[in-house]
Amino acid sequence: MIEVKEVSKSFGALTVLKSMSFTVARGEVVCLIGPSGSGKSTMLRCVNGLERHDSGLISIDGMTVDTKSKTIGSVRAEVGMVFQRFNLFPHMTALGNIVEGPVQVRGRPKGAANEEAMALLHKVGLSDKAESYPSQLSGGQQQRIAIARALAMKPKAMLFDEPTSALDPETVGDVLAVMKDLAHEGMTMLVVTHEMGFAAEVANRVLFLDRGEILEEGPPSELLKRPQNERTRDFLQRVLHPGERTVRDDRP
């Protein structure tokens, strides 16, 4: 479904992605983990063409992602994206946010789009918030609306960039629950996350990214329990036991 082949990307002199390759099969959930600045967000943003990759090939269900092409809009419409900071449209209600894509981009009639949006609101547990503006919602509620907004486009795959890391701890669970439901329904998902519990439970595969390279990949039961690479081990140590300092930290 998502195919990334030898993709490289630099910002000026800084190489962020070094010839990266991976695939996400239809219905598969892949988690992308790695230290801050390793290029996880950049990778995700290249997949739906928010960032332009310098070389290599990215395709979604056979459609090539090329930010310069005229059809990039229709490729993006097929891929849902959920951001760390929600990015809901503040001048529209929750319902307005959800129907915006179907009505404006897909040309769906308003009535049908509204009905579908209400069903999505129900799915994310926020039926009573249809008329609320984003500023009237908690972080967790906003993020669930953002997921509904992405789903309203009936995407072939969903990208998540640390969807829970800007949330209060008590609202994280609601968002993860929605994501788990999606995964169980067979949605193809590529998820950047620091929630190792989610990765362990839901992911089919986990990729460990460091300095723009995939250092290790495997099913969560392998990679999270018995990491082979030393840097993977260090990273997991730091994420799972944030209190303790690792003595062997030789990173620059």
Partner 1 sequence: MMQFFEDARQFMPILLQGAYVTVQVAFLSLALSTVLGLTLALMRMSGNPLFYVPAVTVITGLRGIPIIVQLMYIYFVLPEIGIDLSAFTAGVIGLGVAYSAYHAENFRAAILAVDRGQYEAALSIGMAKAQLMRRIILPQALRIMLPPYGNITIMMLKDSSLASAITVSEVTRAGQLIASSTFKNMTVFTLVAFIYLVMSLPLTALNSWLERRFAAK
Ligand X SMILES: Nc1ncnc2c1ncn2[C@@H]1O[C@H](COP(=O)(O)OP(=O)(O)OP(=O)(O)O)[C@@H](O)[C@H]1O
List residues binding partner 1 (CB under 8 A).
Answer: 45, 48-50, 73-74, 76-81, 83, 85, 87-91, 100-101, 104-106, 133, 135, 146, 149-150, 153
Could you tell me the smallest distance in angstroms from the CB atom of residue 212 to ligand X? 8
Q: Which of 23, 26, 37, 229 binds ligand X (CB under 6 A)?
A: 37
193 binding Mg ion? (CB under 5 A): no
39 contributes a contact to ligand X by CB under 6 A: yes
Mark the segment that binds ligand X (CB under 6 A) among 9-17, 20-28, 64-72, 118-126. 9-17
Q: What is the β-pairing status of strands 205-210 and 29-33?
A: parallel
Q: Pick what 39 binds: partner 1, Mg ion, ligand X, none; C-beta below 5 to 8 Å, kind-dependent.
A: ligand X
Structure tokens at 11: 């910002």
For residue 41, state whether it binds Mg ion (rule: CB under 5 A): yes
Q: How far is the CB of 114 from Mg ion (least distance, A)?
A: 34
Residue 217, H or E segment: strand 213-218
Q: What phi and psi, each to the nearest 5 degrees, are found at residue 116? A: -65, -40
Residue at 31: amino acid letter: C
Q: Which tokens go with 89?
A: 């449209």
**3-state SS class at 29:** strand
Identity at 32, one-letter amino acid code: L
Whole-number Å distance between alpha carbons of 117 and 18? 40
Q: Which is nearer to Mg ion, 41 or 193 (CB)?
A: 41
Q: Which of 41, 97, 142, 143 binds ligand X (CB under 6 A)?
A: 41
> By rule CB under 6 A, what count of residues binds ligand X?
11
Residue type, 129: K
Candidates 46, 42, 67; CA nearest to 2 is 46
Closest CA to 127 of 108, 114, 139: 114
With respect to partner 1, which residue has the nearer C-beta, 80 or 140?
Answer: 80
Residues in touch with Mg ion (CB under 5 A)? 41
Residues in touch with ligand X (CB under 6 A)? 11, 14, 16, 34, 36-42
